[in-house]
Amino acid sequence: MRLTILWIGLGLARLGLIDRERAVRTADLAWPRIVTGLARMSKSAVDVAMVGIAVGEAAIAGVGFATPFWGLAFTIGGGVAGGTIALVSQRYGAEQFDELGQAIRSSVLLVLLISLPVTAFFAVFSTELVSIITTKPEPLSLGASYLAVVAFGVPFAGLNLIGSRTFVGMDDAWTPMIIRAGGAIANIGFSAFFIFVADLGVAGAALGTVLANVVVSAGFATLLIRGSFPGVPDMVVTIDPFGSYVNREIIRSLVEIGTPVFLRNMVWTVAELPLLGIVDIFGTDTASAFVITRRIWGLMNTPGWGFSLAASSLVGQELGTGAEDTAAEYGNEIIRYSVAVYAVSATIVFVFAEPIVQGFVDEPGSQVVPIAISLVYAACVAILFRGIVGSAEGALNAAGDTRWPFYAQLLGMFGGAIPLAYLGATTSLGIWGLYLAFVAETAVPAVVNYYRFGTGRWRAISRSYRPGGTTSDD
């Protein structure tokens, strides 16, 4: 993976599109995170494939209908972690290592305070929540069973995002790759056992997810506290778990930076509810095909995981030293780099769309397969814009300028994707509405994020979050 990503970067450097040294540094940070994303998204795809084989196509739809609620774990964790990586990367770049522990402990506290009530709510009201999307008895029952169990993984998923962002902010993407990829592999093993051996069906897939997230949380905690963990480099800086968790200034910064990130992520989580409800109007076959396509979409979108966090870390570190021009150069070059990698990924999936889709459905003559293939083709076009969205978003996050990415996601989903999908379900536009929804979901945020990064206002905003910074005038 590293060689492939680096080869693309060096090719761009030869064309004069990015600086060679920055290409190497970006690749070194991005590729482990991409591998982590592939492992996690592969786990998610395998879960869907396994429940589809063991239970049937209704299970695919049911798990898909429960997914927006499970996604809230990443909305919560991602929101706080957006603040974590900004604070950690800037302090790491400024070599203010004594302030790292406070930022991490306060992040942990916030995640737990927010996520524990969510866990209880999901576990108790799983049926009522899934019924918001569908009233079809079988998908509703299966989706509720999945959600009632996976709810207990919400706090651990949030903590894992804090752990991952902490290491990336300290210029180390290798460690979270090893720990989270190992957790994804364990998840597949757990799920396979609970689904096929213990015969727990969709509940087994959920239980495997919960246990894997517990394992990953334990790995991050051990390394941050002890400074060592099998298979990863020893840490230079360790965190005292008994230090203060409440620091008003740090918590204020985490909330200020993280709230727009949380709201941005929440846009997608909330938007999935009406979007899946609209897809349900098309029928169970189309709903199952849409869920399959979203899993493939997740795999194609993994370059964004790497380049977004690389932008956050590298731009943040340069801002921490006051090198704003260099930070801007990193941001622009990472955007170009990311788009090139997405183009390669989308081309591969476009060519092999049919066999990829057939890996999810084990029923001869199923109508799900041709529908899913056509949706995958549309997704391959739409995914190219993610190269701009994620990288520009990562650079803005590093500066603490997290409001505009929220506006961008809000406009893309509620001003583009959902209206187009609804037109497809209720007019002669038909499935073309879903094709266009995929494109609007990414093209609109790409334009907004790129415009905001180009204005340079993030430079001034970053100054209020640097060690010893002053309040921004924005």
How confident is the model at residue 419, as a pLDDT?
96
How confident is the model at residue 467, as a pLDDT?
66
Contacts by residues 442-445 (CB-CB < 8 Å, ≥ 24 positions apart):
442/382, 442/383, 442/384, 442/385, 442/386, 442/389, 442/412, 443/382, 443/385, 443/412, 443/416, 444/408, 444/411, 444/412, 444/415, 444/416, 445/385, 445/389, 445/393, 445/405, 445/408, 445/409, 445/411, 445/412
More confident residue, 22 or 90: 22
Least confident range from 138-142, 370-374, 397-401: namely 397-401
More confident residue, 465 or 429: 429
- Average pLDDT of the segment spanning 87-115: 82
Q: What is the DSSP letter of 229?
A: B
Percent of the chain with pLDDT over 90: 38
Q: Which of 425, 448, 452 is nearest to 436 (CA)?
A: 425
With bands split at pLDDT 50, 70 and 90, how would you rate the model's confidence at 236? low
Is residue 335 over pLDDT 80? Answer: yes
pLDDT digits (tens, 9 = 90+) for 165-213: 888 788 777 888 888 888 888 988 998 999 999 888 889 999 999 999 9
Is residue 436 over pLDDT 90? Answer: yes
| DSSP-assigned beta bridge partners for residue 229 | 232
With bands split at pLDDT 50, 70 and 90, how would you rate the model's confidence at 398? confident
Q: Which of 186, 185, 206 is nearest to 195 (CA)?
A: 206
- The whole-chain average pLDDT of the chain stands at 86
- Average pLDDT of the segment spanning 323-343: 93
Is residue 92 over pLDDT 80? Answer: no
- Average pLDDT of the segment spanning 269-298: 88
pTM of the entire predicted model:
0.72
How confident is the model at residue 166, as a pLDDT?
86
Q: Is the Cβ–Cβ distance between 258 and 403 less than 8 Å?
A: no
Is residue 40 over pLDDT 60? Answer: yes
Is residue 238 over pLDDT 80? Answer: no
pLDDT digits (tens, 9 = 90+) for 117-132: 999 999 999 999 999 8
SS3 of 89-127: HHHHHCCCHHHHHHHHHHHHHHHHHHHHHHHHHHHHCHH
With bands split at pLDDT 50, 70 and 90, how would you rate the model's confidence at 365? low
CA distances to 268, 359, 452, 473 from 336, in Å: 25, 33, 16, 30
The secondary element (H helix, E strand) that includes residue 345 is helix 324-351
Is residue 257 over pLDDT 60? Answer: yes
How confident is the model at residue 214, as a pLDDT?
95
How confident is the model at residue 298, as a pLDDT?
85
More confident residue, 170 or 94: 170
Is residue 465 over pLDDT 80? Answer: no
How confident is the model at residue 337, as a pLDDT?
95
- How many whole angstroms separate alpha carbon 24 and alpha carbon 401? 26
